[in-house]
Structure 1
Amino acid sequence: MSRVPNPYRPGFNVPPPAFVGRDGVLASVREALDVAALDGRTPRPLILTGTRGVSKTVALGEASALAAERLGWPAVHVEVRPRRPFTPLLLERLEAVRLDLEHTTQPSRRGTRVTGGKVSASALGVGAELTIERGGEARGPADPIGQALDATMRVAMREGAGLVLTLDEAQLATRDELAAFTAVLQEHMGADWPLVVIVAGLPSLRDPNRSVTYLERGEWQELGLLDPADARRALIDPAAEAGRPLDDAAADLLVEASGGYPYAVQLYGHHAWRASASSSRITVTHARKALDAARRELEEGLYVARWNDASAREQEYLVAVAALIVRTGEATGPQVAAELGKAQTQVSYLRDRLLKKGTLYTEGPRLLFLTPGMAEWVSGR
């Protein structure tokens, strides 16, 4: 039998074959593009938060793809690195886009054309034209980010384009650098740049000690786990399109095991596909083999990484959460405190830290491990 490529793509920052369960995010991106292209003004930023493995980076890529497909706009993507400023990379990529736009000789190929004070735009087949009153030539900004962004936007508008700017792993940026970046955006809101800014980061991005005013006024969306229906689609659709359908019972088994965690959905699908290499369908037998293989991979990868990322006190808290879940089926903040023999106020900071890191998440009053199967692994240590 000839080899058919595995349609599942486990891994971080890797686009899945079916981007499901994120309709709200994509709708917000489309709205922001329409505001920039059709209304002729800069929309407020879109801020995506969520734990690792819930497709934040993929969502940024989808946003850039939408801008390119619908409007022909370029994108600037910057990923913040630990203990490194992101400004130099931002300046470099803005300059690259500016130079590319300056060499564009066919502005008519773009979905939005800016000529003088007039913008004509077309999105989703709906044409619109409006006039934007712009003031006199603004004085060039004094800071490097402002200079680079101003220069890029002027060329973009002259060449009939806008820009999508995405900033990933924003929780790693220093507050001062993030504030400097957003100050430029705020300063030029009145310039009506066709600029869509999308920022992504862990839940700690909401930390009051790190927040900046401009982002606080943005549109915040939290990406969480997939519901069972979306997780099922993410498993069934790629298999069907690749010509090796997934049986309903096998899908049920994989959906339940994944817990709706997008990374785990792809990982379980990947191993189910491998287990069924010599078959025309993916059956329960293949799914059970996939569970064993995927769990071993989770144990050696995510479980160890998240355990090592926790301090000694945080590890004690995780052990208490795991013990309660394994023993009683659930864990709440008060129950964990009692398990540790502490007052809830004495350990609440540990709970908050682990929630911000994305090791735990809440469902009502319950505390749960984000990565499926980790409670059993921690309990068995």
Structure 2
Amino acid sequence: MFRSLYRCFIKRAKPPKLRVVDAVSNPYTPNAGAAPEIVVGRDDLLEAFTVLLQRLERSRTEQSMIITGLRGVGKTVLLGKFGEIARRAGWEVVELEASKHDDTRFRQAMFSQLKAALLRLSPRARWTDRARRAAEVLSAFAVSVDQKGTFSVSWDVPAAEGAGDHGDLSMDLTDVFVALGEAAEEQDRGVALLIDEVQFLGRSQLEALIQAVHKTVQRRLPITFVGAGLPQIAELAGDAKSYAERLFTFPTVGSLDEEDAAKALVEPALVEGVTFDDDAVELAIRITQGYPYFIQELGYQVWGVATEHRVRRADVATAREAYEAKLDGSFFRVRLDRATPLQTSYLRAMAELGSKPQKASDVARVMGRESTQVGPTRAELIDMGLLYTPEHGYAAFTVPDFDAFMLRAVPELHVPEIQKRKRRDD
């Protein structure tokens, strides 16, 4: 299979001009969220997003989407591609990375981004009644906060009365989406809100976004929210609003199949006149398991090992050590460094059981503890985004190959003593 696939690619190869060791010509991009030279295996999602925009432009409803998947599968890259598609279609794009902020900070971030989108849709000097109305609702949204505090509004637009000023985040954001959608509709344009790391939104914030989208669907307005996050998002969205499953699809993205993985590895090199031997491609796919980020990292390391215009199996084998060291020192380590000693021991115990989802009681047994004793630690790791729950009672790593890393990084399992609360002295 690889041989026939490779022959198809090789026809497009340029005459060799550069040595593979030329760092400047390295076509691989192992950077967080950086789009690779070629995005493969995601055509159905790109098409679905295009259809979403086109139907909204015609005042027809369509389910939006929240993409789920493990780390390193290209969710952020997909959101970036969605942004490119929307901009080419004349839509305004608002891009956010969710953080664990309270509702006041969330309001501030949304106000700032949506205000900028409105001004791009309709410069203030040319505001129509609808645009001015949207601005006034945004002002009301900005100052309608709870008793914990407020934030300054950086423009002198009076706040609307009776819209965006309820003091309830869901109601207020719904008013903003409707007003902004009406302003965009008047300009024959639309607004696409793209949010990454959706799992870090507070429940009230996710609920507000879902409710706001629900109302714009009912009004057939050209404004939508598309998200990406870890696998638990579908459950979180359903918990926030029961009708979320009818508003959104929840496509899961994972590792690439063998054909697409080969394309992702081989085609960027062909642009630089460099070819891969068939057995080199096979070994690379086996090492990376087809995960897009891993393919980029291994390709990057191979580029500095091979010579002339050909990558051999031995080059891939030689680059493997640098590839694993780079992943260990950055992609994996940055996540482990956030863990406490007890959380680290929980992760190490899971790794000892393997890469598949593990039952909470089995992890506790490996740690020599009761499930009730380490249950809070498990919950903390889920909240941190290091674990997720594919089914009740089980947890799995959110990062591919994290089990192998834990075995390398923590050779021996050491479980700290659980600290008991000290009694207060009389």
- The TM-score by the shorter chain falls in which range? 0.7 to 0.9
Q: Is the 8 A contact 2:98 2:201 kept in 1?
A: yes
Query: What does residue range 222-371 of structure 1 map to in structure 2 within 5 Å?
Result: 222-276=252-306, 278-325=307-354, 333=359, 336=363, 339-340=366-367, 357-358=385-386, 370-371=400-401
Question: How many residues get paired?
Answer: 340
What residue number does 1:220 align with?
250
The answer as to 2:192 corresponding to 1:164 is: yes
What residue number does 1:52 align with?
71
Q: Is the 8 A contact 1:77 1:165 kept in 2?
A: yes
- Any unmatched runs of 5+ in structure 2? 1-17, 125-160, 166-171, 413-426
For residues 26-78 of structure 1, the C-alpha deviation after alignment (integer angstroms, 9 at most, x for no partner) is 2321332232134x234333111222222111111111222233x32221112
- TM-score normalised according to structure 1 size: 0.76
Change beyond 3 A, Cα 1:191–1:367: closer
For residues 259-291 of structure 1, the C-alpha deviation after alignment (integer angstroms, 9 at most, x for no partner) is 222221111011111223x41112223212321
Distance (Å, rounded) in 1 between the aligned partners of 2:213 and 2:353: 47
For residues 308-356 of structure 1, the C-alpha deviation after alignment (integer angstroms, 9 at most, x for no partner) is 344544433332343344xxx9885476565445677887887787677
Q: Is the 8 A contact 1:101 1:159 kept in 2?
A: yes
Change beyond 3 A, Cα 1:156–1:313: same
Distance (Å, rounded) in 1 between the aligned partners of 2:180 and 2:237: 32
Q: Once superposed, what is the RMSD of the aligned Cα atoms?
A: 3.4
Q: What letter matches 2:276 in structure 1?
A: L
What residue number does 1:82 align with?
100
Distance (Å, rounded) in 2 between the aligned partners of 1:330 and 1:170: 24
Distance (Å, rounded) in 1 between the aligned partners of 2:288 and 2:50: 30
What residue number does 1:150 align with?
178
Q: What letter matches 2:270 in structure 1?
A: A
Q: Is the 8 A contact 2:348 2:407 kept in 1?
A: no
Distance (Å, rounded) in 2 between the aligned partners of 1:209 and 1:184: 13
More strand by share: 1
Change beyond 3 A, Cα 1:168–1:346: same
What residue number does 2:210 align with?
182
What residue number does 1:114 align with?
none
Change beyond 3 A, Cα 1:59–1:208: closer
Distance (Å, rounded) in 2 between the aligned partners of 1:199 and 1:262: 19
Q: What letter matches 2:47 in structure 1?
A: A
Distance (Å, rounded) in 2 between the aligned partners of 1:359 and 1:94: 32
Distance (Å, rounded) in 1 between the aligned partners of 2:287 and 2:249: 33
For residues 359-378 of structure 1, the C-alpha deviation after alignment (integer angstroms, 9 at most, x for no partner) is 58979x99676136425414
Displacement, 1:198? Answer: 0.4
- Any unmatched runs of 5+ in structure 1? 105-138
For residues 188-245 of structure 1, the C-alpha deviation after alignment (integer angstroms, 9 at most, x for no partner) is 3221112232011223434559832153432111222223332222111111122211
Distance (Å, rounded) in 2 between the aligned partners of 1:81 and 1:151: 26
Displacement, 1:140? Answer: 7.2
Displacement, 1:152? Answer: 2.9
Q: Is the 8 A contact 2:177 2:216 kept in 1?
A: no
Distance (Å, rounded) in 2 between the aligned partners of 1:28 and 1:351: 36
Distance (Å, rounded) in 1 between the aligned partners of 2:219 and 2:357: 51
Change beyond 3 A, Cα 1:344–1:230: farther
Deviates more, 1:303-312 or 1:75-84: 303-312
Q: What letter matches 1:52 in structure 2?
A: R
Deviates more, 1:159-168 or 1:330-339: 330-339
Q: For 1:380, which of 408, 411, 416 is the aligned residue?
A: 411
Distance (Å, rounded) in 2 between the aligned partners of 1:56 and 1:187: 26
Distance (Å, rounded) in 2 between the aligned partners of 1:316 and 1:344: 14
Change beyond 3 A, Cα 1:345–1:233: farther
Deviates more, 1:216-225 or 1:353-362: 353-362
Secondary structure of 2:193's aligned partner: strand
Change beyond 3 A, Cα 1:29–1:92: same
Distance (Å, rounded) in 2 between the aligned partners of 1:293 and 1:342: 37
For residues 86-109 of structure 1, the C-alpha deviation after alignment (integer angstroms, 9 at most, x for no partner) is 3322222222222222259xxxxx
Change beyond 3 A, Cα 1:374–1:361: farther
